[in-house]
Structure 1
Amino acid sequence: MTDEGGENWLTRILDVPVGVVAGATYPLRAIALLLTTPKLLGYIVFPILTNIVVGIALYVGLLLPGLQEVQNLTGAIDTRIAAWVANLPNWLSWLGFSGEILGGLLQILLVLGLLILTGFLLVQFGVILGSPWYGQLSEQLEKLKTGKLPTYEGGFLTVVRDIWRALAFEVKKLVLAAGLGVLLLLLNFLPGIGTAIASIGGIGITATLVCLDFLDSPLERRRLRFREKLKIVLGFFPATGTFSLVCLFLVSFPLVNLLAVPVCVTAGTLFFCDRIYPKKFAAIEGGDEIAPR
């Protein structure tokens, strides 16, 4: 039995464990490629400097105050739990220890959420501000890997359309995140399991948006619609899943994330050239121009 592209379903099933591992390795492959291809390094110097400026602003304006608020919140919760336990019978005094464990877990979750949020914002600002350099980096890398690039009509109107598409892309990401975020927020009303599902879902949404960002350069060169880009991200799961989770971890790690964005942009283009291009575009792309969409 085959799917629309003629690919055997058994082949896809067997490719799942390979994809899980392969997707996670692309940031490492990107680092190795950048270190062994000096001509590509020139495209990441300015973006790294931009990330440093944006990172300092986010650390000072968001991360440090956020960590202080997390400490204040968990401290207040610990005080309330201690006061509540003090009024209980002695045989329930063990609840104070349980409260300390819960408070510690809450603090860890809040700090992780703050780091993920800071990293996500760094990706958004870093990718937008460094887009001219990242675009050239991705083009050179795709040409190096596939031997050619798609072409499309030029001119002033094309530039205007490109700006409009870039703005629309960001708006649609926000709409997607907001829509799914509301559903996850409602899950928090379910005690215990609802909060856990909402937390996992929040990480999944963030990872998906990060994946869209880092795969966008080669996909945008083909003038794909937002739904088509999202379909590709979902269609190449689980490889895109492990790829996006590793990238999300890298961009959420303080200081490392200042260098992680160009690495992940490189990794995204490598991922496209190795896994997406051969299955989706190699057979249909020739020398014809791609019309703006």
Structure 2
Amino acid sequence: MVKGSFFSGLGYLGEGFRLIRQPGLRLFVVIPLALNILLFGLLFYLLAEFFSSMIAYAMDMLPDWAWLQSLDWLFWVLYGLVILLMLAYGFVILANLIGSPFYGYLSELTEKHLTGQEVSTDGSWDQIIRDIPRALWREVQKILYYLPRALGLFILGLIPVVNLAAALLWLAFNAWMMALQYVDYPADNHRVSFPSLKRTLSDTRLSALGFGLPVALAAMVPVLNLFVVPAAVCGATAYWVRETGLPVESK
């Protein structure tokens, strides 16, 4: 039986937006935000070019059936949704590679704000720098989990008619990935392995999807997506505290 509450999960992103305005958390929002602005401008330009080519290729593949040709607007909408989802998670992947050391510490500060308890005894800049290789490896693990599944959905999206279901599967998969992506920060702070995190989120899958869905949708909105990443880190930390508890450190 799937546990958790989809509707309770929906509230964590809003809580994250409230948390990033706290004075003690702002510094670790501003620094990666500046980097994300530069990153998003470049990524948006590159994927805009890819989007144009993708639409032309997909329309050429359609058989010359009158009823299919009359639905060409629908395929534009569906492929547009898939590309926006790719843009959303592609941006998240790159933004998190750049900001992962900052986001790990942002999660620590958020947890302390919520619980009043220290997560670690060393929050110095030296420790943040030493954590860079470990933080980057966690991001690589998430990318390796994401890519083969995204490739399978991408191939489904190239098949006419089948791509109607592929767009919905993309949305559900991105919601799951967003939850996995951001709850990983507090999990990593507690030295919970990535496989253990997947099992933990599976135990509260409905809450995880409820949290991940608005994050996935907000990540598709230009400008808003720049602020979604730090807000999602704070919201995921609140999710961790309330949905999963605080496990003992084990790797």
Does the pair score TM above 0.5?
A: yes
Give the letter aligned to residue 176 of structure 2: T
Q: Alpha carbons of 1:132 and 1:182: their partners in 2 closer, same or farther (altered >3 Å)?
A: closer
Q: Alpha carbons of 1:162 and 1:33: their partners in 2 closer, same or farther (altered >3 Å)?
A: closer
Count of residue correspondences = 248
Match of 1:206 in 2: 174
Structure 2 Cα separation of the partners of residues 125 and 181 of structure 1? 16
SS across alignment from 1:148: coil
Residue segments in structure 1 that go unaligned for 5+ positions in a row: 1-8, 86-94
Match of 2:70 in 1: 100
Offset from partner CA, 1:2-47 (integer Å, 9 cap, x none): xxxxxxx9xx86xx5xx21111111111222333x23322221111
Does structure 2 retain, via aligned residues, the 8 Å contact 1:47–1:130? Answer: yes
Match of 2:211 in 1: 243
State yes or no: 1:56 paired with 2:41. Answer: yes
Instruction: Note the aligned Cα RMSD (angstroms).
Output: 3.3
Deviation at 1:163, TM superposition (A): 4.9
Structure 1 Cα separation of the partners of residues 188 and 209 of structure 2? 20
Structure 1 Cα separation of the partners of residues 116 and 96 of structure 2? 25
TM-score normalised over the length of structure 1: 0.72
SS across alignment from 1:149: coil
Offset from partner CA, 1:90-147 (integer Å, 9 cap, x none): xxxxx35x5222x111111111111111111111111221223222221111011111
Does structure 2 retain, via aligned residues, the 8 Å contact 1:70–1:111? Answer: no
Deviation at 1:164, TM superposition (A): 5.1
Does structure 2 retain, via aligned residues, the 8 Å contact 1:138–1:218? Answer: yes
Structure 2 Cα separation of the partners of residues 58 and 189 of structure 1? 23
Does structure 2 retain, via aligned residues, the 8 Å contact 1:74–1:107? Answer: no
Deviation at 1:159, TM superposition (A): 8.6
Identity %: 23
State yes or no: 1:260 paired with 2:228. Answer: yes
Q: Alpha carbons of 1:168 and 1:275: their partners in 2 closer, same or farther (altered >3 Å)?
A: same
Does structure 1 retain, via aligned residues, the 8 Å contact 2:111–2:237? Answer: yes
Aligned pairs for 1:219-238 (under 5 A) are: 219-238=187-206
Comparing both chains, which one has the higher relative contact order based on Cα–Cα distances under 8 Å and sequence gaps of 6 or more? 2
Structure 1 Cα separation of the partners of residues 59 and 164 of structure 2? 22
Deviation at 1:74, TM superposition (A): 6.2
Give the letter aligned to residue 136 of structure 1: Y
Structure 2 Cα separation of the partners of residues 264 and 240 of structure 1? 12
SS across alignment from 1:238: helix
Q: Alpha carbons of 1:228 and 1:242: their partners in 2 closer, same or farther (altered >3 Å)?
A: same
Aligned match of 2:149 in 171, 174, 180?
A: 180
Deviation at 1:248, TM superposition (A): 0.7
Match of 2:10 in 1: 24
TM-score normalised over the length of structure 2: 0.82
Residue segments in structure 2 that go unaligned for 5+ positions in a row: none
Larger Rg: 1
